[in-house]
Amino acid sequence: GAGVSQSPRYKVAKRGQDVALRCDPISGHVSLFWYQQALGQGPEFLTYFQNEAQLDKSGLPSDRFFAERPEGSVSTLKIQRTQQEDSAVYLCASSLDRVGEKLFFGSGTQLSVL
Amino acid sequence: DQQVKQNSPSLSVQEGRISILNCDYTNSMFDYFLWYKKYPAEGPTFLISISSIKDKNEDGRFTVFLNKSAKHLSLHIVPSQPGDSAVYFCAASVNYRDDKIIFGKGTRLHILP
């Protein structure tokens, strides 16, 4: 497709369960970002890749959060031992090259931890 | 500490009138500013941007004004249309340093018929 694709669209997890969220960026986009958006808040930065290199992971809230982009295209955000406070919409975005360029967002994965 | 602040959670404007959304920032290093629009159940979409070397950028019905001394920017929508009802996010980055984009909490705009 032409846009950023995220799957699953919705995910319900039991507390303590591991989850994996997938992002397919726009073809050819070098930069890929993960953001977390809690209810009523703006997107909060989690991590950033340039091709396969993870250049900034300063926003990951704990070591339970892990992201990878092994071939510089598809990315996976993994959350281990999910907690209720992890419930949020996880947004993936890509941009053509520089970080400051406009981002193209996917529709997000809504994670609910029960 | 929020670096990008949108102090109005919501705003209602009559159709055909001007909508003005405001944003303040605290980091004087920010040199690139963006506005995103978000409909329910969709990701944010880019609307308009402005570099710190400018004080105004216009694109159709949308104009962004930047006041660096006040660390303030605003988005003007003229005339407002029903399809403009959405959440608007102000965002900023330190572009020359290839730094991440920081978002505000958003303002929900309601266009009244």
Ordered domains of chain A (ranges, CATH): 5-108 (2.60.40.10)
Fold of B4-112: Immunoglobulin-like (2.60.40)
B2 has a pLDDT exceeding 90: no
% of chain A residues with pLDDT over 90:
88
Chain B window 17-46: which residues touch A at a Cβ cutoff of 8 Å?
Answer: 32, 34, 36, 41-46
Establish if B89 touches chain A: CB-CB under 8 angstroms.
Answer: yes
Question: Looking at beta carbons, which residues of chain B come within 8 Å of A48?
Answer: 100
For residue B93, the tally of other CB atoms under 10 A from its CB is 25
Residue B60 gets the label, from left (phi > 0), alpha (psi -120 to 50) or beta, of: left
Residue A46: closest C-alpha in chain B? B100
Phi, psi (5° rounding) for residue B27? -85, 110
Question: Looking at beta carbons, which residues of chain B come within 8 Å of A35?
Answer: 103
User: What's the pLDDT tens digit per position in B3-42?
Assistant: 999 999 999 999 999 999 999 999 999 999 999 999 998 9
User: What's the pLDDT tens digit per position in B36-55?
Assistant: 999 998 999 999 999 999 99
Question: Looking at beta carbons, which residues of chain B come within 8 Å of A100?
Answer: 32, 93-95, 98-99, 101
Cβ neighbours for B99, distance < 8 A, ≥ 6 positions apart: A99, A100, B93
Establish if A25 touches chain B: CB-CB under 8 angstroms.
Answer: no
Question: Strand ranges (DSSP E) for chain B?
Answer: 4-5, 10-14, 19-25, 32-38, 45-51, 56-59, 62-67, 72-77, 86-93, 102-103, 107-112
Q: What is the DSSP string of B39-54?
A: -TTS--EEEEEEETT-
Average pLDDT, chain B: 94
Q: Do A107 and B104 touch (CB under 8 A)?
A: no
Question: Looking at beta carbons, which residues of chain A come within 8 Å of B6?
Answer: 42
User: What's the pLDDT tens digit per position in A63-85?
Assistant: 999 999 999 999 999 999 999 99
Domain ranges of chain B: 4-112
